[in-house]
Amino acid sequence: MLQTNIGQGSPNLAGTDKVHGAPLGNTEIANTRAALGWEYAPFEIPPEIYNAWDAQVEGAARQSAWHKMFAQYAEAYPQKAAEFTRRMAGELPAEFEQTAHELLLQVAGKAETIASRKASQNAIALLAGKLPELLGGSADLTGSNLTNWPGCVPVRRNADAFVAGNHINWGVREFGMSAALNGVALHGGYIPFGATFLTFSDYSRNALRLAALMKKRVVYVFTHDSIGLGEDGPTHQPIEHAASLRLIPNMDVWRPADSVESMAAWNQAVLRTDGPSALLFSRQNLPFVERSGSVLAHVNKGGYLLANSTHAKVTLVATGSELELAMQAAQLLQGQGVAARVVSMPATTVFDRQPQAYRQAVLGNLPMVCVEAGITDGWYKYIAQAGVKGEVVGMHTFGESAPAALLFEYFGITAEKVAEAARRHL
């Protein structure tokens, strides 16, 4: 039974009908008010309490003093003051869009075959040289997430002083990290990002949703993005996670297929000012994909036609590491006399915002096969939008513990299976 005593001589509520943590009834509320000597009406704030908490006059004076001090600082140090104002306003340096495009061309010129998590680290290093307001870190997995970069300085506090830096080791605190990143974005002055494994994005769910709800620019980096992480096993292999992140309104989700798309993902996450981005990167190496200049111009749109044929009979749509499988499947089909179109879809959320005419041109009107090493449900909408026959090659169960190549073979996510699926709908 509930034993409640509020102040000396307060009534014993045991035996009432409001027990076991249930809300107090009217009688209990009246007795509590009497015991506390509280005579004010509900929601009425006594004048002495209101006045004690009213900081309007003092706040206005402090704000005025700060503006006066900053005006003096700006006169003495105009460049630094302008930089401070720019960062606090969340504005990017002048002509940064052109800078981002140049970085994309630079990455494309290197043509590196590397894991997209490594491509991400390279992108961070390039951006950090242009954006001193980048503030990064990782929840206990810096060596795996690769969110450090040459020249970054860890934030530290020792017995003598606080060491300012631009990289935070968060410890095993996925939610704490993500919530703090939101706070940094709300404060202003920084472009915050933090990382963990994709499967651990579940721990950050509330913070991710709030960032999207608040429309704040926060970059969440999630590596080890599929069964391709291999021997770490099903507990660490994300199956439904990419799909579930795509369901969060106003959350952009990028799953790049190579170094170029990784750079594009980072560029767009930084350029975006009205919401957060989740960047999903691979553990395993991904082959560099050659693109013409006209194709490269469309990478930022989230989905684009990578390979085309005037005699195409089928469209293959893929994202992330599975783009390689789609390209290989197109070659297999070509050897069997069937030409295929290949669409790369690194960011469905971005692609879905493109004009309808563009989306229709990319998807085409041929039978379609979509492939991703994750849950398949979200991909069927593109087959429906195109109004064609088709299917999705992907995961329908949790993963297993084995080398990546064996897992893709075991679960039927291979170029051969994609080609077979395509032939079924010709």
Asked if 191 and 219 count as a contact pair (C-beta separation under 8 A), the reply is yes
Work out whether the CA dihedral 86, 92, 98, 104 comes out positive or negative: positive
Residue 344 — φ and ψ, nearest 5°? -95, 130
Residues 284, 404: contact at Cβ < 8 Å?
yes
**Contact status, residue 374 vs residue 239, Cβ threshold 8 Å:** yes
Please, what is the angle between helix 259-271 and helix 116-128, to 10°?
50
Residue 16 makes CB contacts below 8 A (sequence gap 6+) with: 2, 25, 27, 28
Q: How far is CA 376 from the centre of its chain?
A: 20
Catalytic residue among 28, 133, 174, 372: 174
Report which of 416, 421, 365 is spatially closest to residue 393, judged by C-alpha positions: 421
Q: How far apart are CA 122 and CA 256, in angstroms?
A: 14
Quick one: tokens of 29?
Answer: 């509320």
- 61 Cβ contact list (under 8 Å, min separation 6): none
Q: Reply yes or no on whether 290 is catalytic.
A: no
Both structure tokens of 195: 């990382």
As given in the structure block, the two tokens for residue 397 are 């169960």
Task: Starting at the earlier edge strand, list the strands of the sheet with 390-395.
Answer: 304-307, 339-344, 312-318, 368-375, 390-395
Q: Tell me how far apart the alpha carbons of residues 105 and 296 are, in angstroms, rounded to a whole number.
A: 9
List, by residue number, the catalytic residues: 174
